[in-house]
Structure 1
């Protein structure tokens, strides 16, 4: 799951895992593994993730949770990640898709739509009023796929350069209302 979260976040999560791992002797993925199993209340805990298989191979993944009061913790966050965390936690009662990714060799097969369909089911099961996700403005393929699915841009915050990485200008928050949908059991 760490690989999908890192793909979806274009490396920002990996940077955070290394910074907060508490050990310089760990590999990046060992640090990520420690994070995703450590605290079940954490938004990125493995229990909030699912993977998609195609012909016995892992092809994609999704992680998300219902936005509730008190999540996430901003005091530990570096300045460049705070706009992302603000957007991910802004809409109380929404099911926040924290990461959705499909390996390149599986793209173009409608798998992102299947993952979003699953997120929609999970959101309805949780009683969410909508789905939300945050994406970099330069990730045009993802923005296009999300808009085709029905998401609309509702807010944007400045993307802050970090460790020499440049490119995006904004984090875009996209939302999709679930208000008129019947809860899925």
Structure 2
């Protein structure tokens, strides 16, 4: 992620943010991350520990921006540019992620907002909107024209926010639950042109 100047309360996440980052990504993923970490955990290992380790890696790589008012991360953003060629989806591609990759393959040459999340007690304060504005800046800085995001159909609040920020629903695909207990029926791809 090519970084732009971050001013307080924005900052790059650090390894010490791993607990908050794992919780935030699980909010953003509607519980899917915890389901995946549970499958990855060794016998006797806490699935949250798996998630925290993965998020610590992302923080060390400078891939996550957080909002921190002085007491730790309360919201976070990460994303990446999608290339010009669709990713191959081999037969052994994880079933849960197949629909998401299919949608990403319809958002070529866009900057993809992979995680946008906020702790529930901090919602309604414009933090998601602030992070989406930052995503636009990063997308522009990295030379992308459209922005893209995937959201669960039942996440009405997020969909409303994305529409307000200029995103439009362009495609959807059924959610592959594969043992994941969720109300999500479809994943929706939303695209926003950058002016």
Correspondence for 1:13: 33
Greater displacement, 92-101 / 52-61: 52-61
TM-score (norm 1): 0.82
Match of 2:159 among 119, 139, 143: 143
Q: In structure 1, what is the Cα distance between the partners aligned to 2:130 and 2:144?
A: 19
Quote how far apart the aligned CAs of 1:30 are.
Answer: 2.0
In the alignment, is residue 56 of structure 1 matched against residue 75 of structure 2?
Answer: no
Task: Please report the TM-score for the alignment, with normalisation by the length of structure 2.
Answer: 0.78
List per-residue Cα deviations over 1:95-138 (Å, max 9, x = no partner): 11111011111111111110101111111111112111000111
- Cα RMSD after superposing both structures: 2.5
Q: Which residue of structure 2 lines up, in the alignment, with residue 32 of structure 1?
A: 51
Gaps of at least 5 residues in structure 2 are 1-20
| C-alpha displacement of 1:84 | 1.5
SS in 2 for 1:47: coil
Residue number among 151, 166, 169 corresponding to 1:153 in the alignment: 169
Higher RCO structure (Cα 8 Å, ≥6 apart): 2
Q: Counterparts of 2:148 and 2:163 in 1: how far apart (Å)?
A: 12
Point out where structure 1 has 5 or more consecutive residues left out of the alignment: 181-185
